[in-house]
């Protein structure tokens, strides 16, 4: 018999034979239920409206279920109306009340339909699992309604009485809202976010709040997440970087309203120092023309330039104090000849600078901040540090996030596993130790976590050294979160976009991972079965309109960055992907039209491509959760044996 001590501990919870047996039976029953539906999304980039719509509609799945269930008894409009209600119950109910349509008969019909749909979407879950998802106040009532067989006449009366009571006690709005949330909730059993929640789009903070509310979620950190984490932990170069990106996209809302970051000191500084500089190269991109901005774009450009210069200086300082990054050639400000106003990189050629006004740069020491720049970055850093919301989000990113995740035979990570041209894994040498493949991913994961546990008060060299690594994860050539030979932010501003010198060369991984043999090699590295496994990546927008495909390597490799980010939609030609993994198949939902997604509530259904059908329906016992359940059943069976043999005594009190 296994570990008696452990069994004794277990017997505290299951103190009788009866309880033990009933738990074994419950677990056995759960393990033969169909597996829940997993959703994979990546590169949300602050686009909260689309994200929320995708989530609430279960990527269009709810609308499909409504069609299947009600197609013979409802018109298209009625089915759309029901979807609208489910996606946004409070808005919908307000509209209904205003228009006078919120009548008792509508309530009756609606609760009946919602229960009917809820039965469908919960059919593959255990009663216990569903019960636990129902808010306590309505748990018994909804559970009861779900399990009434309303075909029987007397039961139908009973059902009607329940609804009458709901109406009488004025609880109909709450019950309807609860039912809608429940349908949303059970439809997405598990959510995987394969990186890049932040930057470019308007409200990553709202996305984070929604994610924090989800019952089963994991996150694989993207390069755009790691910079917010590094910034929240006190990496000044990254504080500057996230503010720079926000200003570059004219996004004040998430910084100011979302996180309460005080941009005043930066504003005053920029207006003073760059007052006569038009800062043309720093004009913000305005993706959504209809937006109202509180700061005019000329002032934003000045702030954008001011923070960019601060970022370049601080980034150069990081590279200087970390020669082992092998990134000395990226100490950009030291490659400038300020007499000739040219940039001279490694190739020795001279590139004329498009902007030559550097009022804060000391030519003898171009990477040093001026006193005022120092004040600006310190005040921003303090603001980041004291933002309660930001620190809460940081904690959540640590709790639920990691560099990679293996789940149900899928390997999830945002960027890449750096490779050489021949398909061998690239090696990073850090403090004399070599890391590659899986150990490289583990290295960054561990280092990131180390920072979180080193006390902040201890502003030591040790903490700074680990914190600097967040910069490497953002743009280092052997960073699995980035995967390009350099990040050309400097070149884009000062030499020109779309020039050969500004080209960022992707890691060979991106080409090789399209081939099955290299993906199999990755599976081997992670100890995964090549026959049943998949790699799921984000990061690189799939340019569908140029003929690129999200699936390669004989169906083993998925790249699901379809461009939820509005800024990238012209490149991809679509509005994003969701990968769905249910008990029957893997499928990609292709979201094609933002306008429809954001305005015509409910009518929206994405194009669904089933990409792999399983020969047999997958059950809970075929999943990681199933393996845990199996272990638990084994332990409980041992406990049962121990009771039978009298090794452990039942306790009734
Ligand atoms: O298009 P933008 O916002 O200027 O960003 C360009 C930068 O973003 C990056 O593509 C990184 O962002 P992604 O992770 O979304 O690809 C850099 O490689 C590039 O320099
Ligand atoms: Mn990315």
With 0-12 CB in 10 A as exposed, 13-18 as middle and 19+ as buried, what is 300? buried
Looking at the structure, do residues 141 and 284 belong to the same domain, yes or no? Answer: no
Task: Work out which ligand 1 atom sits closest to the CA atom of 561.
Answer: 15
Residue numbers of the domain that contains 12: 2-29+630-644
Asked whether 479 lines ligand 1 (CB < 6 A), one says no
Asked whether 311 lines ligand 1 (CB < 6 A), one says no
pLDDT of residue 290: 45
Closest residue CA from atom 16 of ligand 1: 539
pLDDT of residue 546: 86
Closest C-alpha to 482, from 416, 569, 391: 416
Looking at the structure, do residues 148 and 235 belong to the same domain, yes or no? Answer: no
Residue 569 within any structural domain of the chain: no
Asked whether 447 lines ligand 1 (CB < 6 A), one says no
Asked whether 308 lines ligand 1 (CB < 6 A), one says no
Closest residue CA from atom 19 of ligand 1: 487
Ligand 2 centre to CA of 555 (Å) is 22
Overall number of domains in the chain: 3
For residue 304, the ligand closest to its alpha carbon is 1
> Quick one: CA dihedral 615, 619, 621, 627, positive or negative?
positive
pLDDT by 10-residue block (mean), the chain, 653 residues: 84 94 94 94 94 87 91 91 90 91 93 95 88 91 85 71 89 95 92 97 96 95 98 97 96 94 97 96 78 76 98 98 97 96 94 97 97 98 97 98 97 98 98 98 97 77 94 98 97 96 97 97 97 95 86 96 83 84 93 58 71 95 96 96 93 75
Ligand 1 centre to CA of 290 (Å) is 24
Ligand 2 centre to CA of 157 (Å) is 56
Asked whether 533 lines ligand 1 (CB < 6 A), one says no
Ligand 2 centre to CA of 113 (Å) is 42
Ligand 2 centre to CA of 376 (Å) is 28
CA atoms within 13 A on the CB side of 617: 10
Of 451, 469, 502, which residue is a domain's last? Answer: 502
State the helix-helix crossing angle for 48-56 and 76-87, rounded to 10 degrees: 120
Ligand 2 centre to CA of 416 (Å) is 10
Residue 52 within any structural domain of the chain: no
Residue 527 within any structural domain of the chain: no
Residue 400 contacts residue 218 (beta carbons within 8 Å): yes
Looking at the structure, do residues 302 and 439 belong to the same domain, yes or no? Answer: yes
Residue 354 within any structural domain of the chain: yes
Residue 449 within any structural domain of the chain: yes
pLDDT of residue 288: 63
Of 502, 522, 556, which residue is a domain's last? Answer: 502
Residue 484 within any structural domain of the chain: yes
Looking at the structure, do residues 116 and 19 belong to the same domain, yes or no? Answer: no
Give, for ligand 1, the residue of 287, 489, 498, 561 to mutate: max count of ligand atoms closer than 8 Å to Cβ: 489
Looking at the structure, do residues 254 and 152 belong to the same domain, yes or no? Answer: no
Ligand 1 centre to CA of 586 (Å) is 29
Asked whether 488 lines ligand 1 (CB < 6 A), one says yes
Looking at the structure, do residues 381 and 491 belong to the same domain, yes or no? Answer: yes
The C-alpha angle with vertex 179 and arms to 178 and 181, in degrees rounded to 5, equals 65
Residue 537 within any structural domain of the chain: no
Ligand 2 centre to CA of 481 (Å) is 7
Looking at the structure, do residues 264 and 379 belong to the same domain, yes or no? Answer: yes
Asked whether 224 lines ligand 1 (CB < 6 A), one says yes
Ligand 1 centre to CA of 482 (Å) is 9
pTM score, whole prediction = 0.93
Looking at the structure, do residues 152 and 13 belong to the same domain, yes or no? Answer: no
Asked whether 539 lines ligand 1 (CB < 6 A), one says yes
Looking at the structure, do residues 247 and 297 belong to the same domain, yes or no? Answer: yes
Of 452, 487, 502, which residue is a domain's last? Answer: 502
Residue 44 within any structural domain of the chain: no
For residue 46, the ligand closest to its alpha carbon is 1
pLDDT of residue 455: 78
DSSP character for 496? -
Can you read off the two tokens belonging to residue 21? 């047996």
DSSP string of 109-144? Answer: HHHHHHHHHHHHHHTTS-HHHHHHHS-GGGHHHHHH
Looking at the structure, do residues 160 and 286 belong to the same domain, yes or no? Answer: no
Looking at the structure, do residues 274 and 168 belong to the same domain, yes or no? Answer: no
Looking at the structure, do residues 17 and 73 belong to the same domain, yes or no? Answer: no
Closest residue CA from atom 17 of ligand 1: 487
């Amino acid at each position: 018999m296994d570990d008696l001590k452990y069994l004794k501990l277990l017997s505290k919870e299951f103190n009788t034979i009866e309880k033990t047996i009933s738990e074994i039976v419950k677990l056995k029953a759960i393990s033969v239920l169909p597996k829940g539906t997993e959703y994979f999304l990546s590169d949300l980039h602050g686009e909260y409206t689309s994200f929320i719509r995708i989530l609430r509609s279960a990527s269009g799945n709810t609308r499909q279920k409504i069609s299947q269930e009600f197609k013979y008894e409802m018109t298209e409009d009625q089915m759309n109306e029901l979807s609208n209600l489910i996606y946004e119950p409070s808005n919908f109910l307000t509209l209904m009340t205003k228009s006078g349509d919120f009548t008792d008969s509508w309530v009756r019909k609606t609760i009946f339909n919602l229960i009917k749909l809820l039965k469908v979407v919960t059919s593959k879950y255990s009663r216990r699992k569903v019960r636990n998802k129902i808010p306590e106040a309505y748990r018994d009532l909804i559970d009861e309604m779900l399990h009434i067989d309303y075909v029987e006449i007397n039961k139908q009366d009973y059902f009607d009485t329940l609804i009458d009571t709901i109406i009488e006690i004025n609880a109909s709005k709450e019950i309807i809202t609860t039912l809608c949330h429940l349908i949303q909730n059970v439809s997405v059993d598990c959510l995987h976010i394969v990186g890049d929640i932040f930057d470019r789009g308007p409200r990553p903070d709202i996305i984070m709040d929604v994610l924090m509310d989800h019952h089963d979620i994991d996150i694989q950190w993207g390069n755009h997440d790691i910079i917010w984490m590094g910034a929240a932990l006190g990496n000044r170069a990254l504080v500057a970087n996230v503010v720079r990106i926000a200003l570059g996209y004219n996004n004040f809302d998430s910084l100011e309203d979302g996180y309460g970051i005080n941009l005043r000191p930066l504003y005053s500084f920029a207006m003073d120092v760059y007052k006569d500089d038009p800062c043309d190269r720093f004009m913000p991109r305005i993706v959504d023309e209809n937006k109202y901005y509180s700061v005019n774009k000329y002032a934003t450009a000045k702030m954008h330039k001011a923070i960019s210069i601060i970022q370049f200086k601080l980034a150069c300082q990081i590279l200087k104090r970390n020669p082992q990054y092998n990134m000395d050639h990226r100490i950009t400000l030291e490659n400038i000849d300020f007499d000739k106003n040219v940039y001279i990189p490694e190739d020795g050629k001279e590139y004329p600078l498009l902007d030559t006004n550097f009022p804060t740069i000391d030519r003898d020491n171009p990477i040093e901040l001026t006193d005022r720049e120092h004040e600006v970055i310190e005040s921003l850093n303090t603001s980041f540090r004291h933002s309660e919301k930001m620190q809460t989000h940081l904690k959540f990113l640590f709790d639920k996030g990691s560099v990679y995740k293996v789940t149900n035979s899928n390997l999830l990570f945002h960027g890449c596993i750096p490779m050489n041209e021949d398909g061998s894994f690239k090696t990073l040498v850090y403090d004399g130790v070599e890391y590659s493949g899986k150990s490289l991913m583990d290295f960054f994961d561990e280092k990131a976590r180390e920072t979180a546990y080193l006390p902040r008060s201890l502003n030591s060299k040790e903490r700074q050294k680990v914190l600097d690594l967040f910069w490497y994860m953002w743009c280092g050539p052997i960073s699995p979160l980035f995967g390009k030979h350099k990040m050309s932010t400097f070149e884009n501003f000062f030499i020109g976009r779309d020039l050969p010198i500004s080209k960022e060369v992707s890691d060979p991984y991106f080409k090789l991972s399209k081939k099955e043999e290299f993906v199999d090699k990755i599976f081997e590295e992670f100890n995964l079965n090549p026959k049943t496994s998949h790699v799921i990546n984000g990061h690189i927008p799939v340019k569908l309109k140029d003929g690129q495909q999200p699936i390669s390597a004989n169906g083993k490799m998925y790249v699901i960055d379809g461009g939820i980010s509005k800024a990238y939609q012209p490149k991809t030609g679509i509005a994003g992907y969701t990968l769905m993994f249910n008990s029957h198949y893997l499928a990609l939902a292709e979201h094609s039209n933002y306008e429809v997604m954001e305005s015509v509530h409910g009518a929206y259904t994405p194009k669904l491509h089933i990409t792999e059908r399983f020969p047999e329906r997958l059950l809970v016992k075929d999943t990681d959760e199933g393996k845990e359940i199996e272990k638990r059943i084994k332990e409980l069976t041992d406990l049962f044996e121990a009771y039978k043999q009298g090794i452990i005594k039942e306790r009734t009190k």
